[in-house]
């Protein structure tokens, strides 16, 4: 069965940009974890998550993002989340994760 998620790494000088496209749920969260953690371990940089084409995320996906933030913070770096859709931003607000991540409009 084809995955409903793609995780695309786009390098730039200062940060590593990661595009999240599609849906993050229990069927795709392992793929997200493997790819995102690998990108973080490979690049000792701030991470910019571009969520313009992320249409759905559940608590398991949010949990992986929190785990990724811990990894990044261990290197004194940070995760910036950009272009969140309103339905997903609502979940960050409900869970209080808007105070944990740096969310940019």
Partner 1 sequence: MEQLQEKSNEVVKEIDLIVPFLPEMVRVVRLTVSGIASRIGFQIDEIEDIKVAVAEICTRILTKSKLNNERYVIKFNMTDTGLTVKFEFENQKPKNFELFAEEDVLGISIVNSLVDEVFVNNAKDSKEIITLSMFLKEN
Dist CA 49 CA 16 (whole Å): 9
Which position among 15, 82, 91, 100 is part of the footprint of partner 1 (CB under 8 A)?
91
56 part of the interface to partner 1, by CB under 8 A: yes
- Work out how close the CB of 62 gets to partner 1 at its nearest, in angstroms, rounded to a whole number: 5
Q: Which of 97, 54, 56 is nearest to 79 (CA)?
A: 97
The span from the CA of 80 to the CA of 93, in Å, is: 16
Chain positions contacting partner 1, by CB under 8 A: 1, 4, 23, 25-27, 56, 58-60, 62-63, 87, 91, 94-97
């Amino acid at each position: 069965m084809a995955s409903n998620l793609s995780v695309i790494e786009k390098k730039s000088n200062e940060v590593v940009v990661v595009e999240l496209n599609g849906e993050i749920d229990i069927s795709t969260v392992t793929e997200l974890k493997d790819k995102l953690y690998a990108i973080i371990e490979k690049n000792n940089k701030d991470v910019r998550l571009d969520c313009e084409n992320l249409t759905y995320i559940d608590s398991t996906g949010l949990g992986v993002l929190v785990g990724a933030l811990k990894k990044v913070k261990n290197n004194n770096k940070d995760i910036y989340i950009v272009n969140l859709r309103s339905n997903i931003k609502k979940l960050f607000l409900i869970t209080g994760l808007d105070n944990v991540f740096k969310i940019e409009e």
